[in-house]
Structures are given as C-alpha cells and as structure tokens.
Amino acid sequence: MKTLLFYCQHILGIGHLIRSMAIAHGLTKDFKVYFVNGGEVIQDFPVPAGVEVINLPAIKTDANFRELQVPDGFTDVESTLEYRRDRLLEVCDRIRPAVVMVELFPFGRRRFSTELIPLLERAKDHGAKITCSLRDIVVTKQDQERHEAKVCKLMNRYFDQLLIHGDPEFLPLENSFSRVNDLDCEVHYTGYVVPDVDRQFTQKTASDPPMILASVGGGRFGHELLQCVAEASQLLENKIPHHIQMFTGPFSPDDVYKRLQTIATNRSNLTVQRYTPDLLSYMAKADLSISMAGYNTTLNILQTGVRAMQLPFTGNDDQEQRLRSSRLEDLGIVNVINPDDLDPIFFSLKVMKTLSVSPSHQHFCLRGVEMTAARVKALIKEEILV
C-alpha cells in the first residue's frame, strides 16, 4: 500500500484538525496515512484505524493572532521550526510518501514556510505528488494583491493539485481568492467534508427534555458568547421547558471554565463541560445550537438540520465566519448573532424567537471525504475522473 503524509497545523481552534482527520480517515482505504500534527495535542481526540499520528512540538497562537507561542524547551519560533523541519525531513526519508497533502498552505500558514518548503522539495525528490487541502473560504490580507501573487507562485512551483472542500453553488473560492484561474495545477471542488456523512442518528423521544446546545469549538475564543448564554439561562429558566448543555472547548482557560461552572451550580437548566469528541450526537438531539460559525460546526448544523444561532469570529479582521454565516442567514438556515446582541435580556428573547421558527433545509454536496479520496487516488494513477 502506498504511503501518504498529511500535514496539519492548527494554531487557534480545532476545526482544521477535525476536518483534516476526517479526510485522513477517508484516505486509509488506499493509503497508509501518516498524519503530522503541528498543533497542541487534544486529550481523547479520536484517531481512526490506519492513521499513524506524528506529533511535532506544538506551536499555537494567542487569541488575537498577534504572536506564535512555542512549547517549553524551545527559546523562540525559529529554533522550534528548525527542529520540526529536521523531524519532517526524517519522516519523509523514512516513509517516502507517494503523496504529501498539506492543509491550508500556501493560502495560509506561510509563517511555517521554513519547515514546509524543505519538506515539499524533499518529497518531490522522492517522486511524491503534492496536494493542497483547502476549506471553502480563506483569510484575506491587507495587501491582497501581493498575497495572492505569493500564493500563485508557491502553488505553481510545488503543487500538483488543489482540493477545495466546499460547494461552488454555495460559496465559490473566488469570493476570498480571486486568482483561481491563474493556478497551473488541477483544481477540484470536493464538496463539504462531513465525518460520517451517512450516519443515522438516535431519534429524540418524548421523554427527552428540550435541549439547547452551546459550544465554541476549541475554546480559545467565544467566551463572551458562553457568558451571555450562562447569564441568559436564569431568564430562560421559567420561560420555556429546556436544558442547556454547554461545552467550553478543550482549550478554554481555567478561569473561564470555573466561572461558568460556578454559574451552573446555581442553575437547574445549565450543565457545563469542557469537551466531547462527539458533538454531532448532541447536535442531533438539540432543539437549538448556539455556536461560533466555524466550518465544522456549520457542517454539523447542515447535517442534522438543527435550528441554529451563530456568532461569527472576526478577530484579526478574519471575515471567514462572517461570510459563511451571512450566506446561511440569507438562505434561512441560521440566525446570525451580532456582538450587540450579547445582552442577556435581548439574547434570551432571541433564543425564544429562534425556537419558534423551523429552519430552511438546503441541499449542499456533503461528500467531501469520499470525493477527496477519489481525487487523490486519481492523481497518483494519472487518471481523469469522469
């Protein structure tokens, strides 16, 4: 069986990791997959059979994307990247991958070029094909023209294939990257990446209390949303029958987690936990999801059809979540939460109004795992998919 090296660097949330691991799982039918994780290790994060994880010394960022932070034992980012580069080259020489799949780079993560470009050059020396795994929306830059020129240069020099994990009928990549037609490599949309797309959910029963699910992904941001939900729980307690299940995220600061747990001890309608590896099961039973507007949470909403309220993350002037949630609101699928809405009284009214309305149901391509595997397999066989 041929080998595939999948590189994923998550620095703030866990969306990149969840999506990448779902893709890696789909590739195990045709490849022995070595999954390089450059971000923090998440306890109890499920790893599929057939995927071998290689954890590099973890690099992360602060909530405002101002600086990269390195693990204990390393003095700075440069020395950490040098160590990681050598580790990557050792792995590449050992497994001699037929394919190297890189998540996001060069559309993002260019700060990691000093380890990635040597990896790509070494892999190409071994005859590997190079694929970029990319979500539907990429972060725009202040000097977008210069940024896009650099992306095109790197893509055209190193990459054989670009796989866009989205549906062009919903959000084409051109909305956030104008020079798609200037790329020399194969470019394909795969549809959205949904783990267990054919999963059958346990149906709610009449004895199950109405449930509101509140979550913020990894938990490094979105604390103001969780605080508002917790404060609104007092106002909602006697207004509607329900229970609020809140997940603060594995990276939520201890003080945030403890503060929310303290509030929950005085509420009969609020439970606070850090993390679940199966958020989808909770969402399938929820009457309402309150969350940020990241890729994976949004796909959970589309897969389950749950009513949803979303607060887009806009730190570092990142418009990815705003674009996605606004499009979904236009289609009647979600209600967007604006920062001004985070007043407990107003928010509780918004929750009750959302619960009274059924969401629209739209059909997007959700078979991104399956189509990604087919495209990668075709790339190394030099076949053309019909």
Q: What is the pLDDT of residues 230-254, one digit of tens each?
A: 999 999 998 999 999 999 999 999 9
Q: Average pLDDT, stretch 211-223?
A: 95
Indicate the length of the chain as a whole number. Answer: 386
Instruction: With respect to residue 93, please indicate whether it lies within any of the assigned structural domains.
Output: yes
Is the pTM higher than 0.75? The answer reads: yes
Q: Identify whether residues 325 and 293 lie together within a single domain.
A: yes
Tokens representing 256? 């945030």
User: Does residue 203 sit within a domain?
Assistant: no
Q: What is the CATH number of the domain that holds 102?
A: 3.40.50.2000
- Please give the single-letter amino acid code of residue 43: Q
Q: Are residues 26 and 167 in the same domain?
A: yes
Examine the pLDDT at 383 and tell me if it is beyond 60. no
Instruction: Give the range among 97-111, 255-269, 315-329, 338-352 with minimum mean pLDDT.
Output: 315-329
242 within some domain: yes
* 165 and 232 in a common domain: no
Mean pLDDT taken over the chain: 93
In a domain, 361, yes or no: no
Q: Determine, yes or no, domain membership for 269.
A: yes
Q: Based on the domain organization, do 242 and 175 belong to the same domain? A: no
Q: Is residue 205 part of a domain?
A: no
264 and 187 part of one domain: no
Which residues constitute the domain of residue 298?
Answer: 211-356
Q: Which residue has the tokens 């992306």?
A: 151
Query: What does the alpha-carbon distance between residue 178 and residue 322 come to, in Å, rounded to a whole number?
Result: 18
Same domain, 371 and 233: no
- Sheet-wide strand order for 31-37: 51-55, 31-37, 2-8, 99-103, 129-135, 161-165, 186-189
Q: Could you tell me if 218 and 188 lie in one domain?
A: no
52-88 burial string, b = 16+ CB within 10 Å, else e?
A: ebbebbbbbbeeeeeebebeeebeebeebbebbbebb
3-state secondary structure labels for all residues of 195-225: CCCCCCCCCCCCCCCCEEEEECCCCCCCHHH
Using one digit for the tens of pLDDT, what is the confidence trace for 310-356?
999 987 677 889 999 999 999 999 999 999 999 999 999 999 999 99
Give the C-alpha separation, 318 to 363, whole Å: 27
Q: In this structure, is residue 102 part of a structural domain? A: yes
In a domain, residue 206? The reply is: no
Same domain? For 288 and 375 the reply is: no
Does 277 lie in the same domain as 321? Answer: yes
Sign of dihedral through CA atoms 153, 294, 172, 200? positive
The answer on 285 and 217 residing in a single domain is: yes
Looking at the structure, tell me whether residues 265 and 183 fall in a common domain. no
| Overall domain count for the chain | 2
Is the same domain home to 301 and 371? no
Lowest mean pLDDT among 190-199, 201-210, 218-227, 354-363: 201-210
Number of other CB atoms surrounding residue 340 within 10 Å:
7
